Amino acid sequence: MRKHRIPSRVFTLLVYVFLYAPIILLIIFSFNATKSNRVWGGFSLDWYVELFHNTRLLGALRTTIILSVLAAFIATILGTAAAIGFYSMRRRSRSVCMSINNIPLTNADIITGVSMMLLFVFAIGVFNSSFISEALGVRWRTGFGTLLLAHITFNAPYVILSVMPRLRQLDPNVYEAAQDLGASGWYAFRKVILPEIMPGVLNGLIIAFTMSIDDFVISYFTKGSGVTTLAVEIYTMVKKPVTPEINALSTLMFICVFALLLTVNIRQARQETASLRRKAKLNPGQ
């Protein structure tokens, strides 16, 4: 094995260089004093200053954050409820539901985006020609509402996927045990089930939040004309000559997402060691 060590190290290094070189380059040039993306003109924070004076970009950032937080929270509540529902099904219906849940995860964003746009256009058409719209004097249009619905929809499967393993680890009798000791159904859920699956719920929340911040394709098709998200705004800016503000913004976004994903990974690693320790304790022979 020893003689393969050097080539394998070189290979690993190359993999990481190709993975991270673009991002590192982007971070470096976000501190560049000149406008060029090729020539280093000295260190400066000018582009960051400029970024925070760009009201269009800041507006898009605000929309994105509100959207991501709302979508992540609602998707987490719905997804957790759905996961508990799936969990209490019989084995066959459960696996059918989980397979259906997994389809959107592997589906191309472009298809999800286009199909949602079609659905919204159809639904809006039906609504606006209905008597409800007339009676209330309200016309529904694509905008923040449709954007939020779309984000909740593509986030929920990730939450379900992250809550399910925690439910499976649960002793099948804990809910009954709580009831047996005098807890009503809701009390037992709040005091026993929820705390037991909380790590999975929080992971789901974080994943949903980062997916939302990150999303371009689905947002692009469902946002309508009035609102814009950060990713979409950057895309429109890039169509004109590139300004290094985008480097600055991208650097900030990268750091945020990176920090969040790091938290998720560390949490998962901790849970795994904890559950391994628990298993080792229960079956000391193995």
Partner 1 sequence: MSKELIRLSDCFMKFDDDVILDHINLYINDKEFLTLLGPSGCGKTTTLRIIGGFQKPTSGDVYFDGVRINDVPPHKRKVNTVFQKYALFTHMNIFENVAFGLRVNKVPDPKNPGKFIKVPESEIKQRVEEALALVNLAGYGKRSVNSLSGGQQQRVAIARAIVNRPQVLLLDEPLGALDLKLRKDMQIELKKIQQQVGITFIYVTHDQEEALTMSDTIVVMNEGKIQQIGTPEDIYNEPKNAFVADFIGESNIIDGIMHEDYVVGMYGRKFKCLDKGFAPGEAVDVVIRPEDIDIVPEAEGQLTGTVTEVTFKGIHYDIIVDFRGFKWLIQTTDYSPVGAKIGVKIDPDGFHIMKKSQYSGTFGDYSSYSSEYDELNEDRLEEDRDDEE
Residues of the shown chain interacting with partner 1 in the complex, contacts defined by CB under 8 A: 171-174, 176-184, 187, 191-192, 195-196, 198, 274, 277-278, 281-282, 284
Q: Which is nearer to partner 1, 199 or 204 (CB)?
A: 199
**Closest distance of CB 268 from partner 1, Å:** 17
Q: Which of 18, 40, 20, 22 is nearest to 31 (CA)?
A: 40
Q: How many residues does the chain have?
A: 286
**Closest distance of CB 181 from partner 1, Å:** 4
Give the Cα separation of 98 and 88 in Å (integer). Answer: 13
**Closest distance of CB 280 from partner 1, Å:** 10
Q: Which is nearer to partner 1, 44 or 271 (CB)?
A: 271
- Contact indicator for 192, 173 with CB cutoff of 8 Å: no
Q: Which is nearer to partner 1, 141 or 277 (CB)?
A: 277
Q: Which residues, other chains included, contact 50 with Cβ-Cβ below 8 Å and sequence gap of 6+?
A: 243, 245, 248
Please provide the DSSP assignment of 126-184 as one string: HHHTSHHHHHHT----SSHHHHHHHHHHHHHHHHHHHHHHHHHHS-TTHHHHHHHTT--
**Closest distance of CB 208 from partner 1, Å:** 23
**Closest distance of CB 168 from partner 1, Å:** 14
Q: Which is nearer to partner 1, 38 or 91 (CB)?
A: 91
Give the Cα separation of 126 and 120 in Å (integer). Answer: 10
**Closest distance of CB 279 from partner 1, Å:** 10
**Closest distance of CB 283 from partner 1, Å:** 8
Query: What is the DSSP secondary structure assignment for residue 244, as one 8-state letter?
Result: T
Give the Cα separation of 149 and 155 in Å (integer). Answer: 10
Q: Which is nearer to partner 1, 20 or 187 (CB)?
A: 187
Q: Which is nearer to partner 1, 103 or 181 (CB)?
A: 181
Q: If 0-12 CB within 10 Å is exposed, 13-18 middle and 19+ buried, where does residue 58 land? A: middle
Q: Which is nearer to partner 1, 137 or 171 (CB)?
A: 171
Count CB atoms within 10 A of the CB of residue 69.
Answer: 15
